[in-house]
């Protein structure tokens, strides 16, 4: 049976990956931001009445983590308040909403991968706005699927892999944060898993990110290695030395145990995924 899926934010990094990996039997509806601005709920309501769908994926977000610090109003409106209203609209139509969230809802004080039920305690505005969005979505809709992921990169970027490769080809040394541990995730791996969770029957919160964990500095060195460059060109620095506007959790690895138990899903290991991605780009 055909599943009609409306994606909000289909032009972004993850949206493009979902379009590339859509399974057979999925009919995609991918309005642009101009067709369907997130804050025009009347237009979204009309669209859902006139062209009913079976699932709504909400990827659209303000993802510029450092910029969120200087415009909390905008961050909370787009990442926090609107998702709740959209979930409410979806719930009234009996439509399961898939909301994508982030590892940045956690404080980073943990020493083992975060589970879905662990306490959220964001350390930056972006994380707080997404955490607010999660709460609003949960409150509005019991049918919602909330999927947290981490450190996305993939075709077309913009992302960490592209920035490091650009900086490597420009020559000169590179300084990368070594005291933040995460699991950078190839967006195509996430997209394939997100289709399973998004079209599945189980509601609730799920973690989907690459297996394994490493610091951004080690990941940058992997990128260098896989690109035939000398990894020693990358110098470790501390987060404090990086001078970025937003704090980041020191440890934000997500446990994929729940998705594994319920859906049999496990994403590839982060270094293997990087190599698969780079081979695909012809690097
Ligand atoms: N990227 C990561 O590392 C990462 C990590 C964890 C979680 N996430 C979450 O994953 C989801 C997808 O992220 P992504 O990396 O694909 O984001 P992205 O590349 O920044 O794309 C965001 C999309 O949202 C759209 N959008 C933003 N504001 C909008 C508005 N007011 N009205 C309509 N559309 C709007 C953008 O449209 P335009 O293209 O027209 O601007 C774009 O298509 C987000 O919810 C994000 O919080 C991302």
What is the rounded distance in angstroms from the CA atom of residue 100 to the CA atom of residue 102?
7
What is the rounded distance in angstroms from the CA atom of residue 100 to the CA atom of residue 97?
10
What is the rounded distance in angstroms from the CA atom of residue 54 to the CA atom of residue 273?
31
Ligand 1 atom closest to residue 16's alpha carbon, by position in its atom list: 16
Residue 172 has pLDDT above 90, yes or no: no
Q: How far is CA 274 from CA 136, 191, 213, 224, 234, in A?
A: 34, 15, 13, 11, 17
Residue in 31, 33, 128, 207 to alter for ligand 1 test, most ligand atoms within 8 A of Cβ: 33
Tell which residue, 79, 85, 83, has the closest CA to residue 104: 79
Ligand 1 atom closest to residue 103's alpha carbon, by position in its atom list: 6
What per-residue confidence (pLDDT) applies to 222? 97
Average pLDDT over residues 47-65: 97
Average pLDDT over residues 200-222: 98
All domains of the chain in start order, with CATH: 3-153+185-209+253-268 (3.40.50.720)
Tell whether ligand 1 has an atom less than 6 A from the beta carbon of residue 127: no
Tell whether ligand 1 has an atom less than 6 A from the beta carbon of residue 150: yes
What per-residue confidence (pLDDT) applies to 87? 98
What is the rounded distance in angstroms from the CA atom of residue 122 to the CA atom of residue 114?
13
Q: Whose CA is nearest to atom 19 of ligand 1?
A: 12
How confident is the prediction for the chain on average, in pLDDT? 96
Residue 186 forms beta bridges with which residues? 153
Instruction: Give Cβ neighbours of residue 40 (< 8 Å, ≥ 6 apart).
Output: none
Q: For the segment 77-98, what is each residue's pLDDT rounded down to a tens digit?
A: 999 999 999 999 999 999 999 9
What per-residue confidence (pLDDT) applies to 116? 98
What is the rounded distance in angstroms from the CA atom of residue 113 to the CA atom of residue 170?
36
Q: Please tell me which residue in 114, 126, 132, 153 is annotated as part of the active site.
A: 126
Average pLDDT over residues 108-112: 97
What is the rounded distance in angstroms from the CA atom of residue 195 to the CA atom of residue 197?
6
Residue in 31, 40, 41, 59 to alter for ligand 1 test, most ligand atoms within 8 A of Cβ: 59
Residue 179 forms beta bridges with which residues? none
Structure-derived torsion over alpha carbons of residues 256, 145, 57, 247, reported in degrees to the nearest 10: -60
Ligand 1 atom closest to residue 130's alpha carbon, by position in its atom list: 47
Residue 128 forms beta bridges with which residues? none
Q: 132 catalytic, yes or no?
A: no
Instruction: Give Cβ neighbours of residue 72 (< 8 Å, ≥ 6 apart).
Output: 125, 129
Residue 174 forms beta bridges with which residues? 234
Tell whether ligand 1 has an atom less than 6 A from the beta carbon of residue 44: no
What per-residue confidence (pLDDT) applies to 258? 98
Tell whether ligand 1 has an atom less than 6 A from the beta carbon of residue 151: yes
Find the 59 Cα to ligand 1 centroid distance in Å.
6
Tell whether ligand 1 has an atom less than 6 A from the beta carbon of residue 14: yes
Tell whether ligand 1 has an atom less than 6 A from the beta carbon of residue 129: no
Q: For the segment 251-283, what is each residue's pLDDT rounded down to a tens digit?
A: 999 999 999 999 999 999 999 999 999 988 866
Tell whether ligand 1 has an atom less than 6 A from the beta carbon of residue 9: yes
Angle (CA) 190 250 205, round 5°: 40
Query: What tokens does 48 get?
Result: 């859902």
Residue 46 DSSP label: H
Ligand 1 atom closest to residue 11's alpha carbon, by position in its atom list: 43
Tell whether ligand 1 has an atom less than 6 A from the beta carbon of residue 204: no
């Amino acid at each position: 049976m055909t599943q009609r899926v409306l994606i909000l934010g289909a032009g972004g990094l993850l949206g493009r990956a979902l379009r590339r990996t859509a399974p057979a039997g999925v009919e995609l509806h991918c309005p642009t931001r101009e067709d369907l601005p997130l804050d025009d709920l009347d237009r979204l309501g009309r669209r859902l009445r006139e062209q009913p769908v079976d699932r709504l994926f909400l990827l659209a977000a303000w993802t510029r983590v450092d910029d969120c610090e200087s415009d909390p109003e905008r961050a909370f409106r787009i990442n926090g308040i609107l998702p709740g209203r959209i979930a409410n609209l979806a719930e009234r139509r009996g439509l399961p909403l898939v909301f994508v969230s982030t590892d940045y809802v956690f404080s980073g004080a943990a020493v083992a991968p975060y589970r879905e039920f662990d306490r959220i305690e964001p350390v930056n505005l972006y994380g707080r706005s997404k955490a607010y969005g999660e709460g609003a979505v949960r409150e509005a809709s019991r049918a919602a699927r909330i999927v947290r992921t981490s450190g996305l990169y993939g075709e077309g970027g913009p992302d960490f892999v592209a920035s490091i490769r650009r900086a490597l080809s420009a020559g000169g040394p590179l300084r990368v944060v070594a005291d933040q541990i995460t699991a950078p995730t190839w967006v195509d791996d996430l997209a394939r898993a997100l289709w399973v969770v998004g079209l599945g029957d189980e509601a609730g919160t799920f973690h989907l990110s690459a297996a394994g964990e490493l610091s951004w500095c080690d990941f940058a060195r992997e990128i260098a290695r896989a690109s035939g460059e000398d990894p020693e060109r990358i110098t470790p620095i501390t987060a404090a030395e990086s001078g970025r506007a937003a704090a980041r959790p020191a440890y934000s690895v997500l446990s994929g145990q729940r998705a594994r138990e319920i859906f049999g899903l496990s994403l590839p290991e982060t270094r293997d995924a990087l190599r698969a991605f780079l081979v695909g780009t012809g690097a």
